[in-house]
Amino acid sequence: MSTRSNVLVTGGSGYIGSHVVLQLLLSKRYNVAVIDNSANSHPESIKRVESIAAEETGEDQKVRLFQGDLKKKADVENIFSYFEQNEDKKGITGVIHIAALKAVGESAEKPLDYYLNNIAASIQLLEVMREHNCYNFVYSSSATVYGEPPKVPIPETSPLQSESPYSRTKVFFEQMLKDIANSQPDKWRIISLRYFNPAGAHPSGKIGEDPLGKPNNLLPLLAQISVGRSYGQLKVFGNDYPTYDGTCVRDYIHVMDLAAGHMNALDALDRDEIFHDVGPGKAKAYNLGTGQGQSVLTMIESMREASGFDYQYQIVERRAGDVPNLTADPALAQKELGFKTVRDLKQMCQDTVRWQKGNPNGYRN
């Protein structure tokens, strides 16, 4: 009989989700199920994850991929029921909830879509978990919950400020998770992970970021430009910020380090001591970042070195809502979760370029 736990990853065929699923398979400690509606992802990523895991572990591990929508309760019910009736009948023991809409600008144009997907559907997921006695929950939050922070690097104690519908969904859901944990302190164990700026790709070049349409994030935009995708003039929004070169600074974390952080969180849920300073319920938030901020111009230069592409850019006016510096203080996650980043900026850019050159059209090659 298998001793592996059954874990459900929502949004598991997306950029971050696929790397998290791979990390779980590489540990050889979990049976992994994925639910994804493929709205912002491609199921091909899961096939490639299985291939990489087989090469690296010598085991043929299969992911149970369920095409479904979290907004449809029956789709979620089906997964929990399947694992109660099959796979040693142990049921789902933990959930890593990554699925979400995540574009700040789009959230201002389509707030209802964001509240439906990021809050209503997530509440429904928690309902199904409770009905099936599954109380271990790792939640993908975001550094956008800090707004424009009073202190950098940013500790978890920094006040939460939501400046877009997207960030409001993250702030509200984090607070809701605390309420739920407090209502059943002997059951729920919840960790929220506040991502800074995920970037990079698995070093094999087989999986990586494949945004639909023009990328919202800097690194995939630079990567696509380097392989001939045209999005017009590359613009740098403002060079008069109070940062080391005047452009916005962000904390870029390699997606494989971020994925490892999810494993750290999942493993930590059983440890009562990490919840000693919260209560009465067991719900806590951690930053996942490097603690090192990189400017827009630094990222362009790093991608120039990695790709050999001579980027031409134009300095334009500041973009409304851009915060000068979002750099994590990752000390709490390092101390309590055993989290650490091991991949540097150079590797992040090299892995990004390797993925994009090998897959110029993403998973649609």
Give me the mean pLDDT over the 79-108 stretch. Answer: 94
| pLDDT in the model for residue 88 | 78
Give me the mean pLDDT over the 178-192 stretch. Answer: 98
Q: What percentage of residues in the chain have a pLDDT greater than 70? A: 99
- Give the tens place of pLDDT for each residue, 281-306: 999 999 999 999 999 999 999 999 99
Active-site residue, from 30, 114, 146, 166: 166
- 2 band by pLDDT with thresholds 50, 70 and 90: low
pLDDT value at 89 more than 90? no
Range 5-358 classified under CATH 3.40.50.720:
yes
- Give the tens place of pLDDT for each residue, 237-256: 999 999 999 999 999 999 99
Instruction: Give the residue extent of every domain in the chain.
Output: 5-358
Global pTM value: 0.97
The pair of three-digit structure tokens given for residue 268, joined into one six-digit string: 């930590």
pLDDT value at 1 more than 70? no
| pLDDT in the model for residue 224 | 97
Q: What is the mean pLDDT of the chain?
A: 97
| pLDDT in the model for residue 317 | 98
| pLDDT in the model for residue 230 | 84
Active site residue 15: no
| pLDDT in the model for residue 87 | 75
Q: Alpha-carbon Rg of the chain, whole angstroms?
A: 20
pLDDT value at 337 more than 80? yes
